[in-house]
Amino acid sequence: MKDLWLKADQVIERARASGVLEPITTDVQWYSEQGIPFCLRTISHRKPGSKPDAEIDEDPFVHFDPTLLVTELGEKHHCLLNKYPVLDRHLLIVTREYEPQTYLLNRRDFYAAACGLKARDALVFYNSGSIAGASQSHKHLQLVGDLDAIPFSPLFDLLQSVAVHQLAQLSFEHRLIALPEQLFTEPNEAAQLLERYYLQFSDELNIRHVGEVVQDSYNLLLTRQWMMLIPRRQETVLGVSINALGFVGNLLVRNAEQLDNLKHYGLMRALKNL
Ligand code: AMP
């Protein structure tokens, strides 16, 4: 799977050339709040008529455009291009057969994610349902191949492995663990360990489930170095929808007014209230 990103780049090129890819362009502003870096994006252009959200009845991860298929990851997942990317090299890891986004992540899901991380260090994230910022109900993890997508990375660089951390700079509730080195050389072992931490942290954060059905919302973020789980109570703050990317410092707004409101309110304070 070393060539995952080579393949992804070729598929991106092809999808772009054929007009299947519909990137959302943004104005980017780096902003520091009490020494913590945030990347603030304001949408500047979205192709008129594109409907990335739940407005289309068909399941886009079953009836996907074949131009978007990058590869298979394990036996249970497709790796697709995000058709409406904001970030570069944004891939989706979707279950081949429908499973709800609100079901527990399982060993197979972590295996597919681990295969992605074996190929190269990247950011995997998961929005557990609409309250956590998901727009699609078919189970999908997301994989971003650009570590610049982690504005908070200076905070994570200092973590000591293998230990659970509570970072004082992050005022929102979270569980964060620094992972063992070389974990992703063996995706099976990685999947086993990640699933164990995920279930343990869910329990500690009171994210309840009955069988496979998870009753509370959360965001999960994962790199080769660490995994973080954040419980969620609401989707928006000041009218801005926040997904997992918010908790590593990426906020996406529709206009300058929303941006001003958030800055005025306090970005970390906003994250804490979610
Ligand atoms: P989320 O909004 O977190 O549920 O993530 C779903 C992702 O799927 C978003 O980033 C969308 O841009 C993307 N998406 C929506 N429709 C399609 C589609 N037809 N093909 C590929 N990606 C899609």
User: pLDDT confidence of 1, banded at 50, 70, 90?
Assistant: low
84 lines ligand 1 (CB under 6 A): yes
CA of 92 to the centre of ligand 1 (A): 8
Which helix (H) or strand (E) element contains residue 115?
A: helix 107-119
How far away, in angstroms, is 80 Cα from ligand 1 center? 10
Residues 212-223, mean pLDDT to the nearest whole number = 97
Examine the pLDDT at 141 and tell me if it is beyond 80. yes
**CA 84 – ligand 1 centroid, Å:** 7
Does residue 30 surpass a pLDDT of 90? yes
With CA atoms as reference, report the closest residue to 175 among 219, 224, 214.
219
Write the burial class of residue 8 (CB in 10 Å: 0-12 exposed, 13-18 middle, 19+ buried): buried
Rounded Cα–Cα distance for residues 72 and 53 (Å): 24
Query: What average pLDDT score do residues 99-119 get?
Result: 96
Model confidence pLDDT, tens digit, residues 34-67 = 999 999 999 997 766 655 554 557 899 998 999 9
Q: Is the pLDDT of residue 16 over 70?
A: yes
Provide the token pair at 209.
Answer: 């489930």
Say what percent of the chain tops pLDDT 90. Answer: 86
Query: Is there a contact between 68 and 19 (Cβ–Cβ < 8 Å)?
Result: no
Quote the mean pLDDT of the chain. 93
Residue given tokens 């886009």 in the structure block? 60
CA triple 212-215-217, angle to 5 deg: 110
Shortest-distance atom of ligand 1 to CA 142 = 5
Q: Is 43 within 8 Å of 24 (Cβ atoms)?
A: yes
Provide mean pLDDT across the span 140-158: 93
Q: How far apart are CA 237 and CA 165, in angstroms?
A: 26
Output 63 or 132, whichever has higher pLDDT: 132
Helices (DSSP H) in 41-150: which residue ranges? 107-119
pLDDT for position 159: 85
Q: Please, what's the b/e burial string for 239-265 (b: 16 or more CB within 10 A of its CB; e: otherwise)?
A: ebbbbbbbbbbbbbbeeeebbebbbee
Return the residue whose CA atom lies nearest to atom 7 of ligand 1: 82
> Does the C-beta of 83 come closer than 6 Å to ligand 1?
yes
Phi/psi of residue 199, each to 5°? -70, -40
What percent of the chain has pLDDT above 70?
96
Instruction: Please report the pLDDT score of residue 264 as a whole number.
Output: 97
Please tell us whether the domain made up of 4-272 is placed in CATH 3.90.1150.10: no
Which residue lies with its CA nearest to atom 12 of ligand 1? Answer: 84
Per-residue pLDDT tens over the stretch 160-169: 777 787 899 9
pLDDT at 180 over 80: yes
Q: pTM for the whole thing? A: 0.94
Per-residue model confidence (pLDDT) at position 56: 57
